[in-house]
Amino acid sequence: MGEAQLSGDHLARVRRAGSRELLSVGVEEEFVLVDARTGRVATRAAEVLADAGERDSDLQAEIVRYQVESATGVCRTAVEVRDQLARARTDLIDLAARHGARLVATGTPVLGDSLPVPLTRRPRYHRMSEEYGALTDDLAICGCHVHVGLPDDEAKVLVSNHLRPWLPTLLALSANSPYWDERDTGYASWRYVVWGRWPSAGPPPWLSSPAEYRALRDVIVASGAALDPAMLYWDVRLSAAHPTLELRVCDVAATVDEAALIAAVVRALAATALTSPLPAPAVPQHLLKVALWRAARDGLEGLGVDPLSGALVPAADLVASLLTAVRPALEAAGEHELVSDGVDRLLLDGSGAARQRRAFSRRGRLEDVVGMLVAQTNPL
């Protein structure tokens, strides 16, 4: 029973669940480690994480040996998300410093011989390399994943459908990866372009039911395009490990404040979907793909594709429409001011990608970009 069939008692129950209390939210962040002296990628994740047992934060390895990841617990407010992310970043910064490294929140590495990537020594990652060949060569990418707790799979499918039109706007808000292989790619989010090469990645289709979701997932796994359900890399997916809907479209946020902003907006979109009397618009897949490409290229500072009309409009206008759509949910959570102030700062100071380029423009040195990233990654 999906959104198209949600009705009667079940729909009422789902909507009551969405309006009765704040939905839970959690965030995962991926980072790059760089050498403290040169700013180039530093393959020291194993050494850094070996000391992490004394910390309360949830710190983990990633697919590449110069990447690390953190995860919050289950949170109820954006402030709680921010506090947990700040603690995790501070822990990783301290641990990295013990090994002559710095922590950097960027969707792609800026400096260093990053290709092909040095894979973390785990059987799963090496099996991925064997199965998918050169697709794993450039997986040095860092995202921000937002998990929203929802009552059941029917609610997750309903929310997934409602999130689809907003995926390009969320990507533009988070764009933070203009550099790759020591050059400007011309994109605000090169991470998204790299990730989109995987056969199991990209925007999810409009789904009629959890049964359809599972059927599509099983076809993808059976085809070999994914090793297992955990490799369904859609921009929104039913989490394979948690009782959540997981949004995966965003670059890792440049700052903890921006990460908290994204979490608040995603949670508000979910709450809005649960209480909406209207079905989610079935945006055609080809139009959504085009809108995501444009968001990856232009980011927050350029133009975006309105997924409902196909028209090119300023990305800032799409952000304004997003904030209008979720304002009641943000106000109910007491987070409207936090989000509106955060968006105003982004529009004034520029996205993460714009700030990286501005740091480079001062002297034409990528080392300056890395230095700026190190500074803004630190929450203190």
**What pLDDT score was predicted for residue 20?**
52
pLDDT at residue number 14: 53
Going by pLDDT thresholds of 50, 70 and 90, the confidence category of residue 7 is: very low
pLDDT value of position 51: 87
Number of other residues whose CB lies within 10 A of the CB of residue 127: 11
E strand spans, the chain: 25-35, 58-61, 67-71, 101-104, 143-149, 179-180, 183-184, 201-202, 233-234, 236-238, 244-251, 303-305, 312-314
302-317 average pLDDT score? 96
Across the range 115-138, mean pLDDT stands at 92
21 vs 277 pLDDT, higher one: 277
Average pLDDT rounded to a whole number, residues 325-354: 97
Q: What is the per-residue pLDDT for 55?
A: 77
List pLDDT tens digits, range 143-191. Answer: 999 999 999 999 999 999 999 999 999 999 999 999 999 999 999 999 9
Dihedral sign for Cα atoms in the order 253, 256, 261, 262: positive
Q: Quick check: 304 and 315 in contact, CB under 8 A?
A: yes
259 close to 144: Cβ distance less than 8 angstroms: yes
Asked whether the beta carbons of 196 and 290 are under 8 A apart, the reply is: no
pTM tops 0.75? yes
- 48 near 68, Cβ under 8 Å? yes
Q: At what angle do helices 167-174 and 315-333 cross, to 10 degrees?
A: 100
Domain 8-377: state its class. Answer: alpha beta
What is the reported pLDDT for 113?
Answer: 72
Q: Which of 39, 53, 174, 49 is nearest to 110 (CA)?
A: 39
> What are the domain boundaries of the chain?
8-377
